[in-house]
Amino acid sequence: MKVWAEGKAGVELIRGKLEGRGLELSEDEPEIVVVWGGDGSILRAARKYPNSCLLGLREKSLGHLAEIDGSRSDYAIERLVRKEYRVEEVPRVELSLKGLRIHGLNEVYFSREYEYATRFRVLVDGEEPYEGELFGDGCLAATPRGSTAYSWTAGRRIILKPDDKALVFTPLSSGHLNKMVIIDGISVAKPVEQLRVLDDKKIVVSILVGGKNKFAADGLAQTQIYVNLEKGDEITFRKAKETTKFVRLPSQ
């Protein structure tokens, strides 16, 4: 079995342990990649090795993707040697516009890069959950795993269970154009709530007033693309056909 180790400083020690237990080290199409670090390291490895299974060893960092504490690396490697593990396929989410398509393990989003708010409508399988025009900075859709990351800090309402067959959709810093609320005697636009959307449904954002926007996934610089949105453009969020494979050990 070909394996490799990626991640933060100290990963050389993990490679030495893998080799010392008789496993073949190879960067070329490894069956399993052991990732030393936190969620950022996992996200980068998932993009670099899309066909490999990932085993995350958490090195002090806060996160939910690297689930095994780094102090248990010897135990984890022993399970690999004995092949005492299972493989879980974790769904991804995608964003598409015309010929452009981006997918992510945590989230995908678009956000404005100009001075005016984007105006848009949202349809979920043809129905309009927000009942009218919205304005704001953009939109984000997150997987169950990603619901604890950018999605949570952007909306602070919905966290999904890892096995939930749903996405979280979040209009970013957005308000209802024609719905107002009174706060301390001042009339302001009603904030837009997050939605829990079953992952067999399609979310379409129809642009009414656009401009230059950044499209990206998982907070990774290499995924960023800049697009000039125009009236009539439709941005689609949905569950992606791609998955990310994770190694799960008996103790998980």
Domain boundaries, the chain: 2-84, 92-241
| Residue 150 exposure: Cα atoms within 13 Å on the Cβ side | 24
Q: What is the pLDDT of residue 110?
A: 98
- Measured between alpha carbons, how far is 32 from 30 in angstroms, rounded to an integer? 5
For 2-84, CATH gives 3.40.50.10330
* Fold of the domain built from segment(s) 92-241: Tumour Suppressor Smad4 (2.60.200)
- Measured between alpha carbons, how far is 57 from 49 in angstroms, rounded to an integer? 16
Residues counted in the chain:
252
List the chain pLDDT tens, one digit each, 252 residues: 899 999 999 999 999 999 999 999 999 999 999 999 989 999 999 999 999 999 999 876 666 787 788 889 999 999 999 999 999 999 999 999 999 999 999 999 999 999 999 999 999 999 999 999 999 999 999 999 999 999 999 998 999 999 999 999 999 999 999 999 999 999 999 999 999 999 999 999 999 999 999 999 999 999 999 999 999 999 999 999 999 999 999 865
39 is a catalytic site residue: yes
Q: What is the pLDDT of residue 63?
A: 66
pTM of the predicted protein model:
0.92
Q: What is the pLDDT of residue 70?
A: 86
Which residues partner with 206 through β-bridges?
121, 234
- DSSP symbols for 14-33: HHHHHHHTTPEE-SSS-SEE
Q: What is the pLDDT of residue 69?
A: 87
Catalytic hit among 39, 163, 199, 200: 39
- Measured between alpha carbons, how far is 103 from 117 in angstroms, rounded to an integer? 25
